[in-house]
Structure 1
Amino acid sequence: MGTPAAALQVPPQTIELTDALLAQNAASPVPARIPASVFAAPADFRDIKLSPSGLRLVARVTFEGRQFVRIRRLDGSEEPWTFQIPDKMDLNYYTWAGEDRLLVSVGQIVPWDGDEARSTRLVIADLTTHKLQVIGKGFAMGLRGDDLLWTDPEGKTALVAFQPTIYDYPAVFSVDLVANRAKTVVSSMTGIWNWYADTSGVVRYGYGWIDAHNWQMVYRKDGAGRFQVVARGTDKDDQAAKFARDKSFTIAAGADEGFVYDTAAEGGHLAVYRYNFATHQRGELVYAAPGTDVGQAWTTEDGKSLFRAVYTDSRDRVKWFDPGMAELQAALDKAISGKLGDREVWIGSRNRDNTIMVVQALGSNDPGRTYIWQAASGTLTRLSTRNPALKPADLAVSRYVHYPARDGMAIPAYLTLPVGRAAKGLPLVILPHGGPYGVRDHGDYDPDVQFLANRGYVVLQPQYRGSDSYGAMFERRGEAQWGRTMQDDIDDGMDWLAKRGIIDPARVCIVGISYGGYAALWGATRNPERYRCAVSFAGISDMPRSLKYQLNSFDDKQAREAWRQKVQGDPTFDLRTISPLFNIDRLKVPVMLLHGTDDQIVQPRQSRLYAEALKAAGKPYEYYEIPDEGHGYTTTQGAQLWYDKLDAFLAKYNPAP
């Protein structure tokens, strides 16, 4: 497993909970009780993206519980175009294709292999005709239909990879976005499930698993060449020998060079390296974030150098490699933080020539506001405020802490203390994040955290082993630990707070969404003596059923096997032993379940089956299905019901003073 757990270093951003700090928190006045409806209010615009010219923007909008996409001009000179995401579908992402089109990815649950699976498709949204067309019409496609490789700058053509039929490996199609006609540019190749194009739109390499144990990578220098196998391996290969298969993110046009993410050493952090695709050789280190993984990096338009990278330590941070952008970031930090106090300031979507940009400012106790910055005038114009009814002075600051797990590993966490209350003997809500892998909390504004803190609860968000950005060793220590040491990490956070005297260990409830919902149900089942209650929104109760559903979403056999190993580990391990559904006799405390009827990530039957079993066993429970809601809460109605039910349930079983 690498370095012993006890040798892990605690990052310098960690806050020490001194007596002075705790006293400072208690010195503030207790804020008024904020109505649940205020926390449930959605942002008016989300996921804002500027068009290439910067004259238009697109955003997600929620209205009367339904999800819409809205496109409008910044100057308001034309009527906005708004279209609804159909019921029973999720909006995954959208991207501009030139100035007059959007490519929109949607997903839905479909029957598959005697069960269910999630299917995705790519839709052309034409701003001139207001027509919506699905790419791939006429093909009997497989599950994945939104693998967008490249879009030309004018927005007339896109490269999309999909299976022509469910019996084929993916091929790459050049799609005429005006006529919605697709022609094959790279045919299916045995064992190749993933294709990649360079910055000019030439498909240059692919990789995949021939069977459950053998992989291969193919490459060509240009569009006229033939694909050649440049690397082969097995699942027994050293990880460093096969990093390029799934960690590359750019190939420069006309060159063999690109960039990959890789770890510097055993257990190390993810960094950016140069990579030669023709020789399958990693080159020089380009950028390593200080003490953490590089979360994501982007290159310049030609793909030859880095433009920006983001990473997370105690919070999200950005590194600009372009001097002009770094200077602008510093100026915005000074202008906004000077006015609003300590806030994260983010340059988001930009137009093609970087003269118009979306800028966001937020903090753990500030829902945030969005601005438009224009170089021509050098001004910031406020576009929206996420939740103007919430004032930072009434909200609690989340602090980044570490505590020791029982095996000596240092576990990061965010701790939020209720404003104006002495940090002694308080009730606790543990709020484990979803995922569990590839996900972590970031210390930003979280309405669930602030809602609970406003009610008088201490809130602990453990970044249990396996959480994202803490390096390869931390991630590996979470593999095959669902319901096992990952759950230990959560429990150990409670013990740490109890030892400090901050919380009353007899007044603890565990609450979560998705994997966090599973952790809540399993925590209360595994150790009912620790918890007074548990709340699960879109959580998992039946691990074997959940794993089967998840595996249906993977294309190739090895990807499925890798995920199975990550969740289950030893194939003889009985997942029923860590499934709340099959251990109801161990449950001694009341639970509350909520689930959206249109959830595509965790099947609604996960909660339905558990509720039926609880009823049959005579266990105290509450169960609420939310019509037309997806994974977690995404609508105002869903959020309102969530907060109302959570408020009442906690007041009944774990009341705050």
Structure 2
Amino acid sequence: MMNRAILLSGAAGVLSLSGPAHAADDAAAVAARFGALEAVRDASISPDGTKVAVVNPVPTGTVVVVADLTGAAQPKMVMGMQAKDGRITSCSWSTDTRIVCFGRYIVKEPVYGPVTYSRVFATNADATGMVQLSSETNDRSHYVMQYGGGIIDLDVGNSPGSVLMTRQFVPDTQTGSRMGSDKEGVGVEAVDTITLKRRTVEEPRRNASEYVSDGHGLVRVMGVVAADSEGVLKGTTSYFYRKTGSRDWLPLSVVASSGAGLSDGFDPYAVDSAANVVYGFEGKGGFNALYSVSLDGAATRAEVLSRADTDIDELIRIGRDRRVVGASYATDRRAIEYFDPELKKLGAALTRALPGQPMTNIVDASAGEKKLLIIASADVDPGILYVYDKASRKLDQVMAVRGALEGVPLAPMKAISYKAADGTEIPAYLTLPLGSSGKGLPAIVMPHGGPAARDEWGFDWLVQFYAARGFAVIQPNYRGSTGYGSAWFQKNGFQSWKTAISDINDAGRWLLAEGIAAPGKLAAVGWSYGGYAALQGEVVDPALYKAVVAIAPVTDLASLKRESANFTNSRLVDRYIGDGPHLREGSPAEHAARFAAPVMLFHGDLDQNVGVDESRLMEKRLREAGKPVTYVEFAGLDHYLIDAAARTRMLSESDAFLRKALGLAP
């Protein structure tokens, strides 16, 4: 796995990663390449910098593979979870030989439908000593514990191998028994990942929602949500902090949930113990800005980074103590501003050394940040996992993020803008098939999901598949997207659906007017809200698209509200979607008779984001209206269809569907 190295000593060190061009594959082979899951779902480096643990999705589920960076041993699988049981999502090292991993699984409950459960496990780097770190309920517990806790700190003072974990305490009371406990809520424990000894660091609070450690074993910030007597959330979180050496909680801020990504109140994210401040986001002039607040009792606030054109939306943190070293934001491309002078210099060196991979993301660091684990990628490169040694200034390649696409030429993504019907400039990304003239092409309008999200420049497996099959693809960041401030977000893409859908349809009209899309060769493809937008775009203008593909789409706004009725976020979902005529007017399932284009639907039956009944209803309504519809349902899969066979089938069948509808050769 250790097969390439370069020195970061100026512009001379250039690494070429492009392989030989392949002969044109047939449609099935192309679908299989792009449908294959990434080999690197998550990666972490050991404290001594000698080993890397990689979370690797495989056809049967998920495995954790340890690679020895010294070359002394072959890569070894140390943990696995079958797909039917769930999946491993992330791992970290508690010692040089001990790995802690987070797993989640979905159970279809009779009343509630699909429900997520999670657990934390630990194992040795030689695949021995696997245990569950999460506590468990028993037959005396009042209810089953869903949340198995999460790691908030890998450093617990002078306790090697111990971690700070949040824990969901469940009451365990029994008449006449002294073994029971009435503790309830989320607390924090110090857990020894080897012996499983645990001690309570923070007593549970019924409405506690999060805890933030200082990276060295001390909890400094706590969030408490407002809820009614039934536990239904009201939409605000109160944050508290501690001064150094104190156990008393002092008020920090109150944050109201807007669903727009814009922080209404100071939203704390990370503590810097050396500076004795907490970093967080808050709105400024309609955009999110990054601030620090002192934790000394004075709560002195200082602006760290802001822009007047886009949200500051991400903290850059590295190392085992999750040290804050910078912040990130997206304009045409994502940019990082490092506060740390050494990393700022390193970032510039990486850009020179990897000109074909301008997106460099530090994903982990060894003890003392002596070695950094980095993923570098681009729009035409899914990414390479590297280890950078500060002492030798050497960058070693570990593995490709998507090995199935190595050597496959990919199409560049270009930032563009177009005018909406009211004259507003809508930012978007355009990807044209390699070797095409850019004119007279079959084309796809692909709105993003969310709607509280945005598309960004970079590798996109769905876009790249359709480009490889000869389609031009436009991705509009319509009004209703996040990242562009509160005015752009409007009420959100559901309550302001008329504006959002108009912007999305205008992307298709622009493709036609520019001659990029050939007449009669325009389709809409979307996932989640994007699927909703593709369907609702057909309702608004049945003459625009000649085919619609919707993956896990919302199809009925009233039904979407009802899906959350039995959950604690029901009030928030109700508020987000709203009430009024738009519930019916903005629901594609209510207007099946207007459809002129054929529709293809895909959905997983364990989808918790958008219930599978949304697609079932859409199929039923279209059939009742005598409209052509094809529906593919995947058993045992959730909203993201994280399964290579399912994704390959979705790509292959959607491609065939689009080609037939648009009159293209197979």
The answer to whether the superposition gives a TM-score over 0.5 is yes
Residue equivalent to 2:161: 155
Q: Hey, what's the Cα distance between the residues in 2 that align with 1:264 and 1:203?
A: 28
Q: Is the 8 A contact 2:604 2:633 kept in 1?
A: yes
Q: Is the 8 A contact 1:633 1:642 kept in 2?
A: no
Aligned length: 613
Shift of 1:480: 4.1
Report 1:385-396 matches (<5 A): 385-387=400-402, 394-396=409-411
Residue equivalent to 1:374: 389
Could you list the per-position Cα deviations for residues 320-373 of structure 1 after superposition, in whole angstroms to 9, with x for gaps in the alignment?
Answer: 222222222222221221xx4x74344432222333223333222233333332
C-alpha change, 1:61 and 1:213, in structure 2 (3 Å) is closer
Q: Is the 8 A contact 2:330 2:456 kept in 1?
A: yes
C-alpha change, 1:585 and 1:74, in structure 2 (3 Å) is same
Residue equivalent to 2:77: 81
C-alpha change, 1:148 and 1:372, in structure 2 (3 Å) is closer
1:73 counterpart letter in structure 2: D
| Secondary structure at the counterpart of residue 496 of structure 1 | helix
Q: Hey, what's the Cα distance between the residues in 2 that align with 1:200 and 1:514?
A: 40
Residue equivalent to 1:11: none
2:135 counterpart letter in structure 1: G
C-alpha change, 1:365 and 1:255, in structure 2 (3 Å) is closer
Report 1:278-357 matches (<5 A): 281=299, 283-288=301-306, 291-298=309-316, 306-337=324-355, 340=356, 343-357=358-372
Q: Hey, what's the Cα distance between the residues in 2 that align with 1:390 and 1:218?
A: 47
Could you list the per-position Cα deviations for residues 580-615 of structure 1 after superposition, in whole angstroms to 9, with x for gaps in the alignment?
Answer: 333323323211112234444333333234334444
Residue equivalent to 1:401: 416
Q: Hey, what's the Cα distance between the residues in 2 that align with 1:130 and 1:458?
A: 51
Could you list the per-position Cα deviations for residues 143-170 of structure 1 after superposition, in whole angstroms to 9, with x for gaps in the alignment?
Answer: 4443443332633132314242599443
1:521 counterpart letter in structure 2: L
Residue equivalent to 2:226: 209
Which deviates more, 225-234 or 522-531?
225-234
Report 1:380-459 matches (<5 A): 380-387=395-402, 394-437=409-452, 439-459=453-473
Q: Hey, what's the Cα distance between the residues in 2 that align with 1:350 and 1:464?
A: 37
Q: Hey, what's the Cα distance between the residues in 1 that align with 2:320 and 2:57?
A: 37
Residue equivalent to 2:105: 108
Q: Hey, what's the Cα distance between the residues in 1 that align with 2:642 and 2:311?
A: 29
Shift of 1:62: 2.8
Q: Hey, what's the Cα distance between the residues in 2 that align with 1:157 and 1:234?
A: 31
Could you list the per-position Cα deviations for residues 213-260 of structure 1 after superposition, in whole angstroms to 9, with x for gaps in the alignment?
Answer: 776444433565333556679899xx999613xx21123448863222
Report 1:535-554 matches (<5 A): 535-550=549-564, 554=568
Shift of 1:400: 0.4
1:173 counterpart letter in structure 2: E
1:185 to 187, 195, 201: 201
Q: Is the 8 A contact 2:380 2:410 kept in 1?
A: yes
Q: Is the 8 A contact 2:604 2:635 kept in 1?
A: yes
Q: Is the 8 A contact 1:57 1:71 kept in 2?
A: yes
| Secondary structure at the counterpart of residue 368 of structure 2 | coil
Q: Hey, what's the Cα distance between the residues in 1 that align with 2:67 and 2:247?
A: 43
C-alpha change, 1:520 and 1:241, in structure 2 (3 Å) is closer
Q: Is the 8 A contact 1:251 1:303 kept in 2?
A: no
2:419 counterpart letter in structure 1: P
Shift of 1:534: 0.8
C-alpha change, 1:104 and 1:141, in structure 2 (3 Å) is farther
Shift of 1:622: 1.4
Residue equivalent to 1:172: 188
1:452 counterpart letter in structure 2: Y
Residue equivalent to 2:50: 55
Could you list the per-position Cα deviations for residues 295-328 of structure 1 after superposition, in whole angstroms to 9, with x for gaps in the alignment?
Answer: 3114687999841222222122222222222222
| Secondary structure at the counterpart of residue 354 of structure 2 | helix
C-alpha change, 1:451 and 1:375, in structure 2 (3 Å) is same
Task: Structure 2: give runs of 5+ residues left out of the alignment.
Answer: 1-20, 173-182, 229-233
With structure 2 as the length reference, what TM-score do the two structures score? 0.81
Q: Hey, what's the Cα distance between the residues in 2 that align with 1:436 and 1:491?
A: 16
Q: Hey, what's the Cα distance between the residues in 2 that align with 1:296 and 1:433?
A: 19
Residue equivalent to 1:225: 247
Shift of 1:101: 3.4
| Secondary structure at the counterpart of residue 521 of structure 1 | helix
1:400 counterpart letter in structure 2: A
Residue equivalent to 2:489: 475
Shift of 1:493: 1.1
Residue equivalent to 1:275: 293
Residue equivalent to 2:15: none
Shift of 1:84: 2.4
Could you list the per-position Cα deviations for residues 180-232 of structure 1 after superposition, in whole angstroms to 9, with x for gaps in the alignment?
Answer: 35544333446543333333333333332154377644443356533355667
Q: Hey, what's the Cα distance between the residues in 2 that align with 1:435 and 1:125?
A: 34
Residue equivalent to 2:12: none
C-alpha change, 1:273 and 1:619, in structure 2 (3 Å) is same
Residue equivalent to 1:653: 661
1:221 counterpart letter in structure 2: K
Which deviates more, 136-145 or 525-534?
136-145
Shift of 1:575: 2.8
| Secondary structure at the counterpart of residue 531 of structure 1 | coil
Which deviates more, 393-402 or 90-99?
90-99
Q: Is the 8 A contact 1:72 1:81 kept in 2?
A: no
% identity of equivalent residues? 27
Report 1:530-609 matches (<5 A): 530-550=544-564, 554=568, 560-566=570-576, 568-569=577-578, 571-573=579-581, 575-609=583-617
1:200 to 216, 226, 229: 216
Residue equivalent to 1:4: none
Residue equivalent to 2:278: 258
C-alpha change, 1:549 and 1:76, in structure 2 (3 Å) is farther
Q: Is the 8 A contact 1:329 1:347 kept in 2?
A: no
With structure 1 as the length reference, what TM-score do the two structures score? 0.83
